[in-house]
Amino acid sequence: MKKKAFIYFILIITLINLSSLGVILYQRAKISLLTGVRGQKVFEQVKREVKLTPSQIEKFQKLRIAFHSKLDSLSASFNQKNRLLAAEIKKDNPDTLVINQLVRDIGAMQTESQFLVIHHFFSIKKILTKQQREKFFDIVLQHFMGKNQLSGPACIRQKDSPKK
């Protein structure tokens, strides 16, 4: 009886691992397909309104692809942790140690994504002139505010930002 239960256990674990591998491979394929088109509309607006030179466009495009690749990979991991957290919470007897660790992992990934965004903006700033930077950040802020509808003290509003 124990041998049969052990075989079923191994079979279930194998199926779960294969399913996870399939999801990971699917996410990576999806990421590689989306990297070229993600944010294309905003990028076209930036090229036009910021008046990027051909050299700047090439550098900007390389930065965008690298940034979105890293962010999408992190997002896939983040989604996986959220699924694990939801599954643990649904259990009749959830393991609070597992939940606590998943929450810490998710928090660390959110922090990492913020650092990725900040470093991406630092990289972009290096290739833009001062006037281009101002216009670029106006566009980014406008897009960000319109997309997320943020308000409150944690949000930087365009009207509140100091004029230079």
The string of DSSP codes covering 55-119 is HHHHHHHHHHHHHHHHHHHHHHHHHHHHHHHHHHHHSSS--HHHHHHHHHHHHHHHHHHHHHHHH
The pLDDT value recorded for residue 101 is: 92
Q: What is the band of 126 on the pLDDT scale with cuts at 50, 70, 90?
A: very high
- Residue 71, in any domain of the structure: yes
**Number of structural domains found in the chain:** 1
- Residue 160, in any domain of the structure: no
Q: What is the band of 18 on the pLDDT scale with cuts at 50, 70, 90?
A: low
Q: What integer is the mean pLDDT of 9-13? A: 68
- Residue 103, in any domain of the structure: yes
Q: Residue 35 pLDDT > 60, yes or no? A: no
User: 38-83: per-residue pLDDT in tens?
Assistant: 567 777 878 888 888 899 989 988 998 888 888 888 888 888 998 9
The pLDDT value recorded for residue 3 is: 75
- Residue 154, in any domain of the structure: no
Helices (H) then strands (E): counts for the chain:
5, 0
Question: Which CATH number does the domain housing residue 106 bear?
Answer: 1.20.120.1490
